[in-house]
Amino acid sequence: MHSRLRLNIALFLIAVALTVFLINTGKEDSVTPEVVLTTIDPASVTDIRIIRNENDEIVFSLQEDKWMMQKPYLLPANKFRIDTMLKLLKAHSYTQFDTKKVELERFLLKSPRVSVLFNNARIDFGDTSPLGELRYVLFDNTVHLINDSLYEQLQTSATFFISPRLLPDDADITALQLPEHQLRKINDKWTIEPADNISADKIIGLVSAWKSVEAITVRTIEEKEISGTIRIELAQGNPIEFAIVSAPPQLTLAIPEFGIQYHISSYDAEQLLLVTSD
């Protein structure tokens, strides 16, 4: 009797173990590996080109770990925008079609309006899916259906991809020529003319604000009367000169030679020009 009970218990445990094994095996077999748009490592990309039928081409290159726009402006690129484009390489692909079995016209990929080249790897953008939230793209003879989060950005002005920072990240300011004040660093100490009882802390805050300021937006320069200039001398590189297109609180600074202007917040304007709120 006892031997039969032990046998039944053993058979029961074997049955349970077998059931668990089959369930786990079924789960593993049902998991489908994720399909991504490309196998390209984003870290390997050193050049990006945006080709657009209705707008100018935009070109970027990686130089000493920093992205620079080469065309149509020679300026630092917006790192966030670059990172967003690089994420396209690993976009989830919901559906794939072999180009030998479908007509590209069906997906508006015969003559794409926008294409992006990562080094020499080209991705063409086509039509949206009937749901409107997914878009067809072409890469390496395969049409993929991916989330549509980049197409509209690629159609915008090139200024959208310019860094909002007014000065280089490592800017070492040695002199500031403002409309009403001139500052210069001599023997690691700042002097200001006219002094106007401006404290040393205020001067340090002013210089610090210029080092870190970012524009709200960067746009193509507007033809307006210039009300003054601001000249910034750096320990490294040539001086940078801004034209004042509009005064605070809606401060707009332009670099005419590059054809762009920076729109500054009212708060930052107070910090940059020693403007008080009263």
How far is the C-alpha of 217 from the C-alpha of 78, rounded, in Å?
Answer: 11
Express each pLDDT in 211-238 by its tens digit: 999 999 999 998 778 888 999 999 988 8
Q: Give the CATH fold of the 166-273 domain.
A: Immunoglobulin-like (2.60.40)
pLDDT at 276 over 70: no
Q: HEC states along the chain?
A: CHHHHHHHHHHHHHHHHHHHHHHHHHHHHHCCCCCECCCCCHHHCCEEEEEECCCCCEEEEEECCEEEEEECCCEEECHHHHHHHHHHHHCECCEEEECCCCCHHHHCCCCCCEEEEECCEEEEEEEECCCCCEEEEEECCEEEEEECCCHHHHCCCHHHHECCECCCCCCCEEEEECCCCEEEEECCEEEEECCCCCCHHHHHHHHHHHHHCECCEEEECCCCCCCCEEEEEECCCCCEEEEEEECCCCCEEEECCCCEEEECCHHHHHHHHCCCCC
pLDDT at 37 over 60: yes
How far is the C-alpha of 18 from the C-alpha of 278, rounded, in Å?
Answer: 80
What tokens appear for 143 in the block? 């049409």
Express each pLDDT in 131-162 by its tens digit: 778 999 999 999 999 998 899 999 999 999 99
The domain spans of the chain are: 42-160, 166-273
How far is the C-alpha of 115 from the C-alpha of 151, rounded, in Å?
Answer: 9
Whole-prediction pTM: 0.81
Predicted confidence at residue 277, as pLDDT, reads: 40
197: confidence class by pLDDT, cuts 50, 70, 90: confident
Express each pLDDT in 68-100 by its tens digit: 999 999 999 999 999 999 999 999 999 999 999
How far is the C-alpha of 179 from the C-alpha of 16, rounded, in Å?
Answer: 84
